[in-house]
Structure 1
């Protein structure tokens, strides 16, 4: 089973939510609250209602803690050194939410269809192993994403986990086709899979 790689999309100009709008040398500024501006992470809104964005000097600033945690970072504040510390989530920690835990998941590139010197690939034999720790009121769903080297999500698959009773279950899933730069007609399938795994990363989250 291939080792899962994680990647975090993080390309916004950020600020940390502190009790006042104070910047370097305690210089006060006048800024506009922009609660009408939305932050969307792969078609899912990040809730900033408690810490709205601000617009200052024609730039939009967003709350660091809210956005970072929504993207999977741990945020720490070093008061002694006036420093914000960002740490990627511990990959050894299982994904868990509301009575369900994901033990492991994997997806392997499989079908190879040459199209004008570019190969279209589908991820088949995707698999999630999960445990339901307490009865669920409704079926759980998970979102699986394929991300390229430019941090762009190129495929998104919503997975419905059918079981609702406590126990450990396995669920297979498939994603749609997407393009890769490797020629699938060259080398064996193992070589091709390794190349694609170097080019793309995966992310799974429980909804």
Structure 2
């Protein structure tokens, strides 16, 4: 299977000055002063990422994250190509697919949320690749978890024939009790701290 990759072209060189609380990065004669943002936490679906001694930077009201530390914490591989000043971010070959069984693979998934009311609807679009004819009808299972406990489970029947398809699954409404006084970003952050999802094939 061909690797997916995100290619990031770097036009700046980041230099950290930990003892002074600021960092400068420069190209040629252009210099910028940025602040070391040691107070900033980085989370993945509400779970904090340990980036070790690498520290985010803030400049011009924007936050810049250490690409190697964050990517490796998420399980990605980082390659640096000095000839083109390119950083290549890719998942290791063994990480594909996301979920699999003999003859069928989930190769990607994306979710969307509706947090406009006191109930949440979570949808997931799943790209499924079937590599051989099956003599049974496989089932895709979408589970929503709250603090690690399954609170909703939805299923979809998959095809038995070869090919790639997109399957949409939608959870039932369930109360998230996040409070109407929170901003949209705050509600989303608190939602991800409590809720997660997972996919299975059987």
TM-score by length of 2: 0.48
- The structure whose RCO (Cα within 8 Å, separation 6+) is larger is 1
